[in-house]
Chains A and B, each alone.
Chain A
Amino acid sequence: MLSVKEVSVVFGTKVALDRVSLQLGQAEILALLGPSGSGKSTLLRAIAGLEEITTGTISFEGRDLAGLPTHVRGFGLMFQTYALFPHLTVAGNVAFGLRMANLAPAAITSRVDEVLQWVGLSELADRRIERLSGGEMQRVALARTLAPNPRLVMLDEPVGALDRRLRERLVEEMADSLREAKLGVIYVTHDHDEARVVADRVALMNEGRIIQTGTYQAIVEQPADAWVADFVGSS
């Protein structure tokens, strides 16, 4: 479904992504696992079209995405900081992508209700963003990302900003929801447990490169090199 081939992103003299290749299947959940600064977020941004790639190709369902601006790609990207719109309510945030898709008002309302119910925030629909707790913000961000039925979902450290207990509970919930939705998902994290619980497959990143790809189990059992062994082992 998504195919990333030999993609590099260079900022000035710094190589953020170094000939990265990646495949994502239909309804597959892939975790991008790596230490901070390893290029995970840059890869997501490159796929979303927010970062211009220096070399290589990214294609989706066989079509090269080069030159296709972000807003017509139809992907969902949830930011680590959530990037909720402060001037809109909870419902306004969730409805945003639907409005951009020019859905009829009635269709927007019913889809917003549906999604908010699904993340358990129906009562907060009219609340302003700054009056939400961290966990509530996280769920609004997820609801906003999923509401327009994106063709591909990318989550950048979606629970990274939450405390540990909340994180564990939400990760389980989210893993179930994502499986249920049967979407292609790239899930960025630096947390091994999250990667293990959520993903079908894991891609290990370090210093702008993908070092090893496979199930979490396979990577732990057969690390590709000393760094991987150290990185998985030390967790």
Chain B
Amino acid sequence: MAGRVVRYLRIATLWGAPLLFIGYLFVYPLTRILAESLTGEGFAQLVDRERFRNAAWFTIWQALVSTVLTLIASLPLTWALSRFNFRGKQLVRALVTIPFVLPTVVVGASFHDLLPQGVLAILAAHVFYNVAVVVRTVGGVWGRIDPRVEDAAATLGASPGRVFRTVTLPLLRPALASAAAIVFLFCFASFGTVLILGGGRIRTIEVEIYQQAVSFLNLPVAGALAVLQLIFVVAALLVANRLQRRIGFDLAAEVSLPPPGPRHRLSVGATVFATLGLLAVPLVSLVGRSIERRGWAGLTGNAASALSPVQAIGNSLLYAAIATVIATGVGLAAARIIERRGGGWLDTAFMLPLGVSAVTVGFGFLLALDQPIDLRGSFILVPLAHALVATPFVVRAALPLLRSIKPELREAARVLGASPSQVWKEIDFPIIARALAVGAGLAAVVSLGEFGATSFVARPASITVPTLIFRLLGRPGTASYGTAMALAVILAAMTALLVLLIDRLRGSEAGTF
């Protein structure tokens, strides 16, 4: 009897935590804001006006093209990093991740120096941001494909190109689909980049939502656009889910990587230097400007009165810690449900916040989260919003390994006397622990860089580094500008350190992004 109660309680928390989390923080606010704003007239305007059709069309094609370009641009580096061991490899991996967290306001300016405003600049910036997603997601799996499989194909007479097409690529397909889905969502919901590099002419659905809601106060149209966005995002995720279906192959537990041989030394070196070189240009100009504008002195002084850089850094670290704990717990529980019960819909539900407009969610928070406790003014809303965006990364990291655990391992443990909770503790958890640590680290990285939702819910006392950078850039005076650049450099450094730490933890190439 008592055992049964405990069992039900366990099931309730296992299901309850993720469902309550996604339900209260995403589905409910979204429903409230849509209920408030949707009218038939909103949809009628959408259909009627060319402007919205253009925005929808542009959003889709630029996201698709950005995704394909990102995949193409990242694969050589992914290959070099996941196939070979060489000195400085972890540093390279850390550097690649930095762009991912830099605020668009900061990077946009650098890109603008390099390319004229327009579609090309937008696509280039999207690639710049998302290389890390591919390197980490695909690299995790690529590093664990047994090289002997490829060797076998070669001995059967396949040329290197053919080996890649017929053996490696199919094995990478699920990871590629997973990476592509994330990149697609980011580009689909791209806001700052499109604004800065689009020159006022180019609009995505996200930009239109912002304009309709904030500039025109036209909530019916904004709501209708949000629904349109939601439909596209769900469709994209469903396609990605299909492509991601597990194909039956075992990942090697640990493949020890060789240093690049004479045949590969040149191509590995060239790949690493070329990619790093391209990624470095905007970063170097950022450091340069922070020094040129004497931004470092402003960090401790109170040039910006209420906005204290020191406090913002403290807040960012604190929220990253809280968000990471929440995202790891919720993500782990969600991954377990998805793995056990198939719950593909839950997987999709957790990915949705990545592709849905921060404006929509931000307004939804304000409308919905005053009951039962008024969270609207509370600092806790900031890490909660971060956790919402970070959780899918934990799920992504844990799920492939959880799925790779053969059912017999659990059965063997049960036969040997392990209760269901002991099976989890003794088998599942240790096997996925490293991947989970990687997921947690990524959650922290995502939290450090989050801007969209934070800008809606952060109060002056709970401001984070990216929001402070944005605010400083809106203030007059060269001192504010320099401080903003210096803060961006600090954000980049915090990210790099975090990524180095994650890589130390994970040791082997476990898990995906």
Contacts and interface: CB of A to CB of B under 8 A. Distances in A.
A83 B412 contact: yes
B415 to A, nearest CB: 4
Interface in A66-102: 69-77, 79, 81, 83, 85-87, 96-97, 100-101
A86 B508 CA distance: 14
B55 interface: no
Contacts of B408: 79, 81, 83
B412 A74 contact: no
B200 to A, nearest CB: 56
Given A86-B253, A86-B431, A79 B412 contact: yes
Contacts of B349: none
Given A71-B419, A87-B431, A96-B426, A50 B409 contact: no
A100 B417 contact: yes
A70 B414 contact: yes
A76 B413 contact: no
A76 B430 contact: no
Given A83-B408, A85-B409, A97 B417 contact: yes
Interface in B241-281: 253-254
B414 A50 contact: yes
Given A81-B408, A83-B406, A83-B408, A97 B253 contact: no
B41 interface: no
Interface in A103-134: 130
Interface in B425-458: 426-427, 430-431
A148 interface: yes
Contact of B430 (A45, A49, A74, A87): A87
A99 to B, nearest CB: 8
B422 interface: yes
Nearest to A74: B417
Q: Contact size class for A?
A: 20 to 34
B418 interface: yes
A143 B283 CA distance: 58
Of A45, A85, A101, the most chain B CB neighbours within 10 A belong to A85
Contacts of B417: 71-72, 74, 97, 100-101, 148
A144 interface: yes
Contacts of B413: 85, 96, 100
Contacts of B422: 71, 100
B292 interface: no
B5 interface: no
Contact of B411 (A74, A76, A83, A96): A83
B6 interface: no
Of A45, A49, A97, the most chain B CB neighbours within 10 A belong to A97
A69 B410 CA distance: 14
Contacts of B426: 96
A130 B253 CA distance: 8
A81 B407 CA distance: 11
A43 to B, nearest CB: 15
A144 B418 CA distance: 14
B411 A50 contact: yes
Given A83-B408, A130-B254, A70 B415 contact: yes
Contacts of B406: 81, 83
Contacts of B430: 87
5 contacts: A71-B416, A76-B415, A79-B408, A87-B431, A148-B417
Which 3 A/B pairs are nearest by Cβ-Cβ distance? A100-B417, A97-B416, A83-B408
